[in-house]
Amino acid sequence: MKKILLTFFLGLILVSGYAQKKSTANDTIRLADPTIFYEKGTYYLYGTGSPRGFLVYTSTDMRHWSGPAGRREGHALLKGDAYGNHGFWAPQIYKQNGKYYMAYTADEHIAIAESDSPLGPFTQKEQKAISGPGKQIDPFIFKDKDGKLYLYHVRLQNGNRIFVSRLKNDLSDIDESTTIECISAVEPWENTANAPWPVSEGPTVVNHNGLYYLFYSANDFRNIDYAVGYATATSPLGPWMKYTANPIISRKNTGYNGTGHGDLFTGKDGKLYYVLHTHNSNTNTGRRKTAVIGVSFSKDTPSVFTADPKTFRFLLSSPLK
């Protein structure tokens, strides 16, 4: 009986160990499809990495990261508290009226959960996915200057294609009648393997000086040429014109394969950054590494956006205390 109980408890430790394990000093954080939410001097880092939901790490200087720090076994969102059983991918945090919302992918559908804290727990009173046909992934909530909300997302329709829909003011669902396609992968750099299923994904949208910028990644994430480009428009609904010098972030200017699928954020220094992932190494995809790079809008040429390779660095955990 003792042997049976020991085996049972060892099994429990192994199952829960991923979430319970604290990072050791100078470990590279391994969250794919990352996003960083900054508020009141603290950076909150989330991404794809746990089969049980979304872990969160925190930092006050963007260099030393502690965690996992979520309130549910290290998770900001834990399986069972909101929609989804597997495939927890690509979260984004959005704040409105004192509440925090997490838009995310699970079971290849999109859901939106809420919390009173960036650390969670993010929950849903009614565990459900948003409306829409077929599979939908990679959500991004954008609020326009007129207060209207939009949900940019990817639909799996003859490839990974980026769409946008009006999002209801209470963030409960989209207005499916407003859905239109933004972009798909048709440029040579967007499908270097000539795959039958072209991929454009991971949208992030911002408005700068009256122009809308849609940042996205293209190629299959396992492709060494996975990279980041952008398109511009004068309306959040498009039409979108792709930048002629894409990609702006790739293995050619970072030195690392599989560079992409991230999010823009402004640091406490007032500068703009893009958090992203790379392959585990230049020989295998593996558990993808989380990194950050400094980016900026051109002061002289409208619609030009650049990344500074000298600022590229991986995010490391801080020493245990």
Separation between Cα atoms, residue 118 and residue 145, nearest integer Å: 24
From 33, 81, 220, 225, the catalytic residue: 33
CA 262 to chain CA mean position, Å: 5
From residue 108, give the alpha-carbon distance in Å to each of 28, 58, 124, 265: 27, 27, 18, 26
Classify residue 48 by its DSSP letter. Answer: E
Q: What is the architecture of the domain spanning 28-317? A: 5 Propeller (2.115)
Separation between Cα atoms, residue 249 and residue 110, nearest integer Å: 26
From 81, 114, 201, 263, the catalytic residue: 201
**What's the confidence (pLDDT) of residue 172?**
97
Task: Judge whether 249 and 261 are in contact, CB under 8 Å.
Answer: no
Tens-level pLDDT at each residue, the chain (321 residues): 434 333 333 343 333 343 344 545 569 999 999 999 999 999 999 999 999 999 999 999 999 999 999 999 999 999 999 999 999 999 999 999 999 999 999 999 999 999 999 999 999 999 999 999 999 999 999 999 999 999 999 999 999 999 999 999 999 999 999 999 999 999 999 999 999 999 999 999 999 999 999 999 999 999 999 999 999 999 999 999 999 999 999 999 999 999 999 999 999 999 999 999 999 999 999 999 999 999 999 988 878 999 999 999 999 997 544
Tell me the sheet residues that pair with 156.
160
Task: Judge whether 228 and 274 are in contact, CB under 8 Å.
Answer: yes
Assign 201 to helix, strand or coil.
strand
Q: What does the domain layout of the chain look like in residue ranges?
A: 28-317
Separation between Cα atoms, residue 279 and residue 54, nearest integer Å: 20
Catalytic status, residue 33: yes
Burial readout 30-62 (b: 16 or more C-beta within 10 A, e: otherwise) = bbbbbbbbbeeeebbbbbbbbebbbbbbbbeeb
